[in-house]
Amino acid sequence: MWGARDTRDPHVPRRTGITRDDPAGVCTPSAGPGPVWASGTGDDYGRKPSRDQSSQEQTPQMGDTKDTLTVTDNRTGETYELEVTDGAIRAMDLRNIKVSDDDFGMLSYDPGFKNTASCRSEITFIDGDAGILEYRGYSIDQLAEHSSFLEVAYLLIHGDLPTADQMDAWTHEITHHTFIHENIKQFMDGFHHDAHPMGMLVSTVGALSTFYPEAKDIEDPDIRLKQIVRLIAKFPTLAAFAYRHSIGMRYAYPDNDLSFAGNFLNMMWKTTELKYEPNPVLERAMDTLLILHADHEQNCSTTAMRTIGSSDADPYSAAAGATAALYGPKHGGANEAVLKMLEEIGSVDQVPGYIERVKKGDFRLMGFGHRVYKNYDPRAKVIQQLAHEVFDVTGKNPLIDIAVALEEVALEDDFFVEKKLYPNVDFYSGIIYQAMGFPEEMFPVLFAMGRIPGWLAQWQENLEDDEQAIARPRQIYVGARDRDYTPIGERG
Ligand SMILES: CC(C)(COP(=O)(O)OP(=O)(O)OC[C@H]1O[C@@H](n2cnc3c(N)ncnc32)[C@H](O)[C@@H]1OP(=O)(O)O)[C@@H](O)C(=O)NCCC(=O)NCCS
């Protein structure tokens, strides 16, 4: 029973006790927040406590806090008490707030899901104010410095870093699933000669589901894992083949002797040599860039992955949808916009004038600002350092000087300081990709290749979460009602 009515005061009716374990409607204070923090919201509520506070804050005294929210509905004068867990109320608890018995109940309205947690997740933690990003509790800085993309993929999927034996087996599995069916190659040949590689990737990832029909059995963890391996392994092959098709070069097949990143560079750049030898600095840079993109909690494409997966669709179809979501310039295309901006600025001496125009509101500074990060994006720091290592091999991309000058001016300027606008991951990633020889159309493809383990980890977590159901939001209908159909000849 939800919200048992309290009849003690007939003039001010009270409904209390919207507390799941409390059918009598008598609210008892809960034990307070456990070690779970609302992530990525930019709000203080539910924030991960700083290290010196955390032990104290994780073990509050019983009775010290009452984790409920009291709401008075001024339409009726009724008061409701909603349970607060981990800094959130349950949207379904609002349904009990009604003006009459036949009222549907209150909804929360949140276009763009700006303040709605759609899941409880153990995968990625972001503290946007502090500029912290962690995969499964490990900081992105440590992973970028010490780990490899395949190890990070294992971590995201399985929850822990692998032992040496587990890592060997995982690497072997991924390496031996990089080939794609020859029919997929023919399928790719059917695309127009200048087809965008991202459009090709969306289509071919979706087409993979027709080659692995057992993938529909999403209840079987072994079958799920097999598809996870296939998707991580085949993404670089599809990505590189899409690129080769778009420039009219024959496909370069995977080379199992090479590392994950080294093999991708081989499939991208191999020409007449018998054996492609990746440059170790560029190979490591490629691997690090993939690590930096491997997950970012509930962003647009990940939400697409979870949403499609929630209908029990196979993971190839879900990944095609997630890739499509990433295709949009607001998600996967910002680094391309940064390059265009830097080219437009043209030289360091033009930077102050450009900044003034941004401040006047003529346009935004691309690669600056983030919905979640209100501090330096930790990934941007890693990329900035990486850029110089790459330039030692490729020669300096002259755009970096303009980017650094822009950053220096912006970080000192009150306009950007007050709005908490800092460089995001896209500010430097395009410059580094360009120096490595990737055309702009490949930027979102590289993003997708890095993000696939994150999508899959989130997809799997969603399937294993008993609280989840098919994603099906509500709407507030504001259109016409009860219109009479007029035959076409009578419409004027
Ligand atoms: C990423 C982005 C969409 C986040 O937007 P958001 O969190 O919704 O923030 P808002 O758009 O509400 O902006 C907040 C304020 O900062 C300003 N602002 C945000 N980003 C800005 C930028 N890059 N340049 C100049 N001003 C910016 C807005 O004009 C707004 O100012 P106001 O409060 O005076 O109106 C935004 O920062 C942006 O457009 N950045 C440039 C594009 C980009 O780099 N995208 C890649 C993201 S990974």
How many C-beta atoms lie closer than 10 Å to residue 365's C-beta?
22
Whole-number Å distance, alpha carbon 128 to ligand 1 midpoint, is 14
Number of Cβ within 10 Å of residue 413's Cβ equals 16
Written as six digits, the tokens of 468 are: 């989840």
Nearest CA to ligand 1 atom 38: 369
- Does residue 7 carry a pLDDT above 90? no
291/350 same-domain check = yes
Residues 343, 266: one domain? yes
Whole-number Å distance between alpha carbons of 248 and 27: 68
Are both 209 and 261 inside the same structural domain? yes
For residues 12 and 50, state if they share a domain: yes
Task: Verify whether residue 146 is a known catalytic residue.
Answer: no
| 128: in domain | no
98 and 146 in a common domain: no
State the distance from the centre of ligand 1 to the C-alpha of 381, rounded, in angstroms: 19
**For the residues 55-79, what does the mean pLDDT come to?**
71
At residue 144, the 3 state secondary structure works out as: helix
Distance 421 CA to ligand 1 centre (A): 7
- Is residue 390 situated within a structural domain? yes
> What pLDDT does 64 receive?
52
Mutate to test the pocket of ligand 1, among 363, 419, 451 (most ligand atoms within 8 A of CB): 419
Give the binding-site residues of ligand 1, using a 6 Å CB cut-off: 334, 358, 364-371, 419, 421, 424, 426
Asked whether residue 230 carries a pLDDT value surpassing 90, the answer given is: yes
Flag whether 373 is in a domain: yes
Residue 124 is classified by DSSP as E
pLDDT at residue number 146: 98
pLDDT for residue 46 is more than 70: no
Q: Which residues contact 331 (CB under 8 A, 6 or more apart)?
A: 299, 300, 301, 325
pLDDT in tens, 124-162: 999 999 999 999 999 999 999 999 999 999 999 999 999
Which of 287, 314, 370, 377 is catalytic? The answer is 370
Residues 484 and 356 in one domain: yes
In the structure, what pLDDT confidence band is assigned to residue 65 with cuts at 50, 70 and 90?
low
343 and 457: one domain? Answer: yes
pLDDT > 50? residue 9: no
When pLDDT is cut at 50, 70 and 90, the band that residue 15 belongs to is very low
Mean pLDDT for the stretch of residues 398-416: 93
Would you call 370 a catalytic residue per the annotation? yes
Asked if the structure places residue 132 within a domain, the reply is no
- Give me the pLDDT at residue 372, please: 87
Q: Same domain, yes or no, for 101 and 147? A: no
User: What is the structure's pLDDT at 292?
Assistant: 97
Of 421, 422, 428, 443, the residue with max ligand 1 atoms within 8 A of its CB, to mutate for a pocket test, comes to: 421
pLDDT digits (tens, 9 = 90+) for 238-267: 999 999 999 999 999 999 999 999 999 999
Active site residue 331: yes
Percent of the chain exceeding pLDDT 70 equals: 87
Q: What are phi and psi of 231, to 5 degrees?
A: -65, -45
Range of the domain at 343: 139-492
CATH code for the domain of 430: 1.10.580.10
With contact defined as beta carbons under 8 Å apart, do 1 and 25 qualify?
A: yes
Mark whether 154 and 103 lie in a shared domain: no
Q: How many domains does the chain have?
A: 2
Q: Do 395 and 302 lie in a common domain? A: yes
Residue 329 has pLDDT above 90, yes or no: no
Of the candidates 255, 331, 401, 413, the residue annotated as catalytic is 331
Is a pLDDT exceeding 60 seen at residue 362? yes
Give the number of other Cβ atoms within 10 Å of residue 177's Cβ.
17
Expressed in angstroms and rounded, the spacing between residue 371 Cα and the centre of ligand 1 is 8
Q: What is the residue with the minimal CA distance to atom 1 of ligand 1?
A: 370
Q: Give pLDDT, residue 35.
A: 37
Strand partners for 73: 78
pLDDT at 61: 41
Straight-line distance from the first to the last Cα atom of the chain, in angstroms, rounded to the nearest whole number: 54
**Which pLDDT value is given to residue 26?**
28
* Nearest residue (CA) to ligand 1, atom 32: 419
Beta bridge partners of 135: 124, 138
Bridge partners, 134 (sequence order) = 125, 139
Ligand 1, closest atom to CA 358? 25
